[in-house]
Amino acid sequence: MDGDVPNIKRWTVFYPVYINSKKTLAEGRRISTSKACENPTCVEIADSCNFLKLPFAIEIDKAYPRDFMQRGRVRVSLKKEDGTLYNPAISSRKQLMLQVAEMVPRHHGRIRKQEPSTTSTAALPSKSGKSGRKKK
């Protein structure tokens, strides 16, 4: 067990902010907005890493240094102990970010979440309850 702890410390750190299309480069986004996805979560990133057959560890108690309100990060290992890649298609952090950003919008939890929200947002404009409250 002791042998695993230092290894996790050497793994690649992956904050959800890196692939968040809602963030600017100054706020921490590391890939282009066209390739980034909207508000990814640690769980979605971890599931993507699992699908890509990469070992990962979610660290919920950690925060992004530029924005301490962004809680959680994922540590991912790209290489085995002997230096060979776990997934030959992913040899760098950048490739990992691009692959995960491509997969997150298709995440099974995200697809379920969007279906009810589209029906509720379609109902909101017809109600126009918000504008009525503001006038009072």
- The encoded tokens of residue 35 equal 């390739």
Residue 134 banded pLDDT, cuts 50, 70, 90: low
- pLDDT tens-digit map of 59-74: 999 999 988 888 999 9
Q: What is the pLDDT of residue 123?
A: 44
Report yes or no on 126 lying in a domain: no
Domain count, the chain: 1
* Residue 30: domain span: 4-114
Residue pair 72/58 in contact (Cβ under 8 Å)? The answer is yes
Interval 115-135 mean pLDDT: 48
Average pLDDT over residues 74-84: 90
Q: Residue 107 is part of a domain; what is its CATH number?
A: 3.30.56.30
**CA 106, 108, 110, 116 torsion-angle sign:** positive
Look at residue 87 and tell me if it is in a domain: yes
Q: What is the DSSP code string of 80-130?
A: -TTS-BSSTT--SHHHHHHHHHHHGGG-HHHHHHHHHHHHHHHHHHHH-HH
Q: Is the model's pLDDT at 121 over the cut of 90? A: no
- Hey, how many other C-beta atoms are within 10 angstroms of the C-beta on 40? 27
pLDDT at 130: 52
The conformation of residue 3, written as its DSSP 8-state character, comes to T
2-35 pLDDT tens trace: 544 547 888 899 999 999 999 999 999 999 999 9
Taking the C-alpha atoms of residue 99 and residue 115, their distance in angstroms, rounded to an integer, is 24
The residues that bridge with 47 in the sheet, in sequence order, are: none
Share of the chain above pLDDT 70, in %: 76
- Is 33 among the domain residues? yes
